[in-house]
Structure 1
């Protein structure tokens, strides 16, 4: 006989938070393996939310409505949250949309840009800027009563994957500093979008004070540069040549460059394996950087530059003793 899930209303706030995290983490992992099949529209976004939070109502979270947008805020009022950061003292405030008809229309408009086929051909900086704009718009609308961050991270990660990019949101969750940097970057973008629509004077005063405190920190498009890479660049770095080419045939030019570099350094530096390896690594670094930037061809410049740099290096004198100058 299976144990009945513990009712959330019988738990402490800390226990309730942990129970929710346990349920939702499992569902997020499932979504990694079996993503929602959709068109990256409002229905797709709702289904992501529904699948992440589907277990909570049955576990006693009576206030959770998976897959449903929150109700509109009354005229003259704002939807505002107070946030506490681990690495910065004092409260911060961020305002979101009232989730009225205008906000719903804004959400649909933002999702018009969430088309994998249109995003796939972009270079990394442009893709990152477009993705950050989509995320900020959706975050400002904040369509769900709770769980917006988990929903949007899952949704945008799937969007990036289908557009040929890897979005590593997890990198920001590995430390308090990383989490706070992400909160700050997101809140800066959201406050900027929220300001023209704030209804109440007290809300405006709080978010302007927060905005002043966050000034000078990295904005979301800049922060995402650390977390976004083309899938083919990751494959080039992590997989064997055979595996990478099977998944990404467009890497053929990159590997052609590496083979040519190996042949070049072997001919120019015979009998010097360490020097050959250093030259190859220099070219590989250049190719990797160009792949990270979204390029797929014309890597010869990196090969020639590395070759020229190696040829200009002075020849090292031969050592007279096998152990001369070695670090112990």
Structure 2
């Protein structure tokens, strides 16, 4: 099947239609794997599996991209919607050393270990993993979509909710993510750059984008423990069934309700306002990864 008669815009839409369907499918039926290189490659294969059959002959789902020849760099030009100018990001040559680095990076992708981290620790670890894999850029196409799907599943199995889609809500949010990622990736790329011209471009990019938020800080906006989301959105019975560790949070709320009822009998509005303050405090601590000692500040 050929799509050569389509305009560039139509080709982009065709590609987006197929991959969006597969990404949604992966939300319902994730890859069953160990979050190793094979798992990562399978995510890429499933997202892009339809494209070769509809005329995207250059797409090789699930396969690593070919290594860049010695003495050359692999660099992309980035256009931002909210910042004027041209920016650049450099990636790995995808040689044998890079392939080995993928395995090393993914050795840290263990849900059982990540589950024991507080939210700030988890976001720092996730940002480090994402940056490393983004710099290595294993695939010819779709690295961002692959990494978002892969890390969302990893976060979910570690007990966290990762809402990448919140960066798609506006051009400002989307650019903030691009900037945070590219700044971090370029720092990893600098020691391996082959050409002086490449180095000039990524240093220019760094200097122009200096002062923006980094990726660990940015991820704090879109990462929350699953139990914190359940406490906020689910009925108590359902939340406790899914997350028994929320027992202490609900106990705190009941004790607060009894205390304020005794302190301000008949003053419903005052009671409700005070209970809401306690709830906000409990929610804040749950968001931080805490499950006990809600009376502490």
Which TM-score bucket, shorter chain as reference? over 0.9
The whole-number CA distance in structure 1 between the counterparts of 2:295 and 2:237 is 22
Is residue 61 from structure 1 mapped to residue 67 from structure 2 by the alignment?
no
Contact preservation (8 Å) 1:9, 1:61: no
The whole-number CA distance in structure 2 between the counterparts of 1:256 and 1:96 is 50
The whole-number CA distance in structure 1 between the counterparts of 2:264 and 2:48 is 61
Question: Match for 2:270 among 254, 268, 275?
Answer: 275
Quote the RMSD (CA, aligned, Å). 0.8
The whole-number CA distance in structure 2 between the counterparts of 1:90 and 1:15 is 27
Structure 2 residue aligned with 1:85: 80
Structure 2 residue aligned with 1:70: 65
Q: Which has the larger radius of gyration?
A: 1
SS at match of 1:8: coil
Structure 2 residue aligned with 1:129: 124
Is residue 175 from structure 1 mapped to residue 176 from structure 2 by the alignment?
no
Structure 2 residue aligned with 1:323: none
Structure 2 residue aligned with 1:222: 217
The whole-number CA distance in structure 2 between the counterparts of 1:298 and 1:273 is 27
The whole-number CA distance in structure 2 between the counterparts of 1:16 and 1:175 is 24
Is residue 102 from structure 1 mapped to residue 97 from structure 2 by the alignment?
yes
Give, in angstroms, the shift of residue 301 of structure 1: 3.1
Structure 2 residue aligned with 1:246: 241
Give, in angstroms, the shift of residue 138 of structure 1: 0.2
Structure 2 residue aligned with 1:236: 231
Question: Match for 1:255 among 231, 250, 258?
Answer: 250
Name structure 1 gaps, 5 residues minimum: 303-328
Cα deviation code 1:236-270 (max 9, x no counterpart): 00001011001000000000000000000000000
Is residue 11 from structure 1 mapped to residue 3 from structure 2 by the alignment?
no
SS at match of 2:149: helix
Q: How many pairs were matched up?
A: 297
SS at match of 1:98: coil
Cα deviation code 1:100-141 (max 9, x no counterpart): 011111111110110000100100000000000000000000
